[in-house]
Amino acid sequence: MSDSRVVLVDECPDGLVEAVERRGFTTEMCAEDAVFDALDDGVAGVVRCGDVDTGFVSRVRDRVGVVPVFFLVTRGAASASGSAHGSGAIVVSLPKTKKAAAAVAARIERTIEFSRWASSGRDSNSLYRTVVEQSHDAIFIAQDGDFRFWNRRLTELTGRSDDELAETALLDVIHPDDREKVSRISETRRRGGDAPVSYEVRLVDADGGVHECAANVKDIEYHGSYGVLVSMRDVTEQRATEAQFRGLVELARDLVTLVGTDGRIRYQSPSVTDVLGFNPGKLVGKPVSDLIHPDDWEHVKAVFEHALRTGADGTEAVRYRHRNAEGSWTWLESVGSNQADTSVGGFVVTSRNVTEQRSYEQRLKRYETIVESIGQGAYVVDEAGVIQFINETALSRTTIPMSAFVGRHISALRDAGYLAAEHYECAEAALDAVLDGESTRERFEIELSLPEKNYVVEFTVSPIVGDDEVEGAVGISTDVTARTRYEQRLNALHASTRRLTGATSREEVAEIVREAATEVLNYAISGVLLYDESLDALVPTAFTDEAWAVFGDVPPIPRGAGLTWEVFERGEHNLYRDVGSNPRRFVLDAGVKEELIVPIPDHGVFFVASLGDDSLADQRIALAKVLAANTRAVLDRVEREQQLRRRERELASQNEQLESFASVVSHDLKNPLNAAMGYLELARERYDGDELDRVATAHERMAGIVEDVLALARNGQTVEEAERLSLGSVAEAAWTTAASNAPEATLVVDGDIAVDAHRGRLRQLLENLFSNAIRHGGDDVTVSVGPLADRDGFYVEDDGPGIPPDERPRIFEAGYTTSSEGTGFGLSVVMSVVNAHGWSVWFVESDEGGARFEITTESNR
């Protein structure tokens, strides 16, 4: 290299000076204010540290002509200053290492050599011509609508050779639809009007292809005449790409928003109309904070500020409520691309409407919450019977994780030992029926054998249907162990109740209850204490062996002593905790911790006890109360039956006494009376006088009394067998006997009813009532018989004088009569017949003022 100098302005890196000198150049360091004094014909190039200064380049060229001028800038400034090339400045990154300095020195050397070659033997613009020829843009000079100069790129763009271009007018390569626009702009420019410097125009190549181009136009004087210098770049692919992206943005359902670093919207895609109802242009310039729900803004703001602060390329997806055109809120999910350090100068935010999705997710979350909160196991299997899901409730019965089952066939439950073979077959059959579409619901119970506990589980299996096909099944399991155990105990209770119904004594009842304590309640320590009226005490009647072992030989518990009397007198059950420290306990130091005592009202108490804490507080308490209630009912029945048997024995004894009495009356009274009546007849043959008539009357009186007493005795016996009789028929038969001596008397049967009675005794009752009516009412009395209107039974009434009120209380007494002809036993016989049937009789006054007897046939026995 010759002694050409390279002038370095200001302080350039020391390594660069050495590298340039190794290339054969001499170097000269100058301050900026002295550099122009150092410029002469020996200067081959100038190097300056700092930003590009086009004015500095012009002054250098004015002084020494066209020489390369290099600017050493930082890396960021170098990329930003690329456009300075048109001014003749050459921008190079400031070297920071020796290797970088050597590379810069080599570039300086090649550039100086090219500059000298391009300038030698050529006119002053030969260097620019060389640069133009190497440009990627089509560059040409036009005058009067014809091409005067063009570079190689124009021939490539138009598909025409140099000779063809020389014969082609400028407008011939312009698209027909753009020629008017180009002519108008050119004419305006030539007249000095306000014409655009840059605009887009379409070129048509020799094959008819259309190229979209960006044109830059500058007025020049070329060879003494007006012309234009045009630089044209083919942007066809760029515009196609832009159109594609524009189409994607404008047609996309998602929102695309450009948000500046100031938080204002710079661009909004058209899809905002469909999603939010806004006109896109109306949103441009608005702060995004005005459109986001106040409760969500801080979170959104924090996400984007973090991206700005850290320089992250993008943001995490964030959900928030965005105001829509109606003034309500729409849920959006947005992701931002951080383009703050690029020409975009902000965030490109892509958003989608997730209102329905969020609603679905919320519903799904609620369903998941319900599934996990229902307290039931939930299983989902696919169409092949492979388990897809098991909820926590189902897994809570075992310590095995979900992963041990999910993805495996349901037979894994059998293989793991949780299902016995027969239970698995039951589950498999139900599942097959649902998956095959044969059933829409299957329900069955199986027993799970788990290490911790055995469970009885009720399963309900239903299909999962999609597109009219069964895609799987869902099973819901319910732990029915407690219910099953309760049902078992309840069945045992029913069995105990059936045994109780056959008990015939208090002691037998107590023994059955003692057995039920173990079979039904599963309480070993239990027993029954029954009240003994003669002792006025609760007597231990039946204890389990464990109860005798705990309490020992318990004596009768006197009134007011111990917890049992407290419950018996109050009539309410009580669960005693910490029995050992209770001062009212009767048996001391038994070691019992808890005791449940249930009253058997009027009869005693039933108790269960435990030696441990908190072992009685379950549903068995309710069963104990039911058992006690059943016990009371049975004891009531046993007591009634015992009373009935005593009554039957008393009645039998009474019947025997009455039969004996009737025998005495029949034989011991009637026989002497008959003998007296015989002797009276003999006496009449020897003597006839009033005295004998009075004796005969006395005999008749005595005979009537004997007959009445005999009827009273026999009719008072309890009726053992009854038949269904017509009241009217029996009344008419009785009337023929009672009214035989009163032909003027009248019987009125006012309706007929069926009566369950002994025929002879019912007739005797009616005869006595009819005779009583005729005796007191006269031979022309009217007697009525008919059913009672308000209850089961019948009445007999007459229209006679009735019975005085003060006499009515005594009318049913034996021997009482107000008639000189009566014996006083007639109504007593009526009462005896009523009692023998278990009926009741009342006397009231008839509507005519006579006597009315009402007999109810509802048995009170």
pLDDT tens sequence across 542-591:
898 888 888 888 889 999 888 889 989 988 888 888 887 788 888 876 77
Closest CA to 708 of 768, 798, 784: 768
Predicted pLDDT of residue 758? 85
Distance (Å, whole) CA 530 – CA 636 = 13
Predicted pLDDT of residue 781? 93
The yes-or-no verdict on residue 482 having pLDDT over 80 is: no
Which segment of 162-171, 293-302, 358-367, 625-634 scores lowest on mean pLDDT?
358-367
Element (H, E) at 268: strand 265-268
DSSP state of 244: H
Distance (Å, whole) CA 487 – CA 481 = 10
Highest mean pLDDT among 67-76, 468-477, 530-539, 701-710: 530-539
Q: What is the mean pLDDT of residues 71-96?
A: 65
Taking residue 526's Cβ as centre, other Cβ atoms within 10 Å add up to 25
pLDDT tens digit string along 646-704?
A: 776 766 656 665 665 565 555 556 667 677 777 677 777 777 777 777 777 666 656 66
Which segment of 363-372, 617-626, 814-823 scores lowest on mean pLDDT?
814-823
This prediction has a pTM of 0.35
Per cent of the chain over pLDDT 90 is 18
Closest CA to 52 of 77, 22, 27: 77
Q: What is the mean pLDDT of residues 806-825?
A: 59
Which pLDDT band, with edges at 50, 70 and 90, does 66 fall under?
confident
Judged by DSSP in three states, 20 sits in helix
DSSP state of 87: G
Predicted pLDDT of residue 820? 46
Task: Identify which has the larger pLDDT, 814 or 746.
Answer: 746
Element (H, E) at 186: helix 176-190
Predicted pLDDT of residue 121? 44
Task: Identify which has the larger pLDDT, 653 or 448.
Answer: 448
The Cβ-side half-sphere exposure at 829, using a 13 Å CA radius, reads: 29
Predicted pLDDT of residue 804? 83
Cα 285 from chain centroid (whole Å)? 47
pLDDT tens digit string along 346-367?
A: 888 888 888 887 876 677 677 6
- What the block records as the tokens of 433 is 């029926």
**DSSP code per residue over 564-633:** HHHHHHHTS-EEESSGGG-TT-SS-S----EEEEEEETTTEEEEEEESSSS-S-STHHHHHHHHHHHHHH
Which pLDDT band, with edges at 50, 70 and 90, does 719 fall under?
low
Closest CA to 446 of 468, 430, 470: 430
Q: What is the mean pLDDT of residues 148-176?
A: 86
Predicted pLDDT of residue 616? 67
Distance (Å, whole) CA 763 – CA 782 = 18
The yes-or-no verdict on residue 335 having pLDDT over 80 is: yes
Predicted pLDDT of residue 287? 93
The yes-or-no verdict on residue 84 having pLDDT over 60 is: no
Helix axes 826-837, 690-715, angle to 10 degrees: 10
Report the residue count for the chain.
Answer: 861
Which pLDDT band, with edges at 50, 70 and 90, does 368 fall under?
low
Task: Identify which has the larger pLDDT, 298 or 370.
Answer: 298
Predicted pLDDT of residue 86? 46
Closest CA to 651 of 827, 836, 813, 504: 836
Distance (Å, whole) CA 193 – CA 603 = 126
pLDDT tens digit string along 449-478?
A: 666 667 788 888 999 887 778 888 888 888
For 92, residues 6+ apart whose C-beta sits below 8 A from its C-beta are 70, 71, 72, 73, 78, 104, 107
Distance (Å, whole) CA 205 – CA 511 = 119
Which pLDDT band, with edges at 50, 70 and 90, does 632 fall under?
confident
Task: Identify which has the larger pLDDT, 697 or 791.
Answer: 791
DSSP state of 555: P
The yes-or-no verdict on residue 413 having pLDDT over 90 is: no
* Sign of the alpha-carbon torsion through 586, 592, 594, 596: negative
Kindly report the backbone phi and psi dihedral angles of residue 592, in degrees, each rounded to the nearest multiple of 5, phi listed first.
Answer: -80, 135
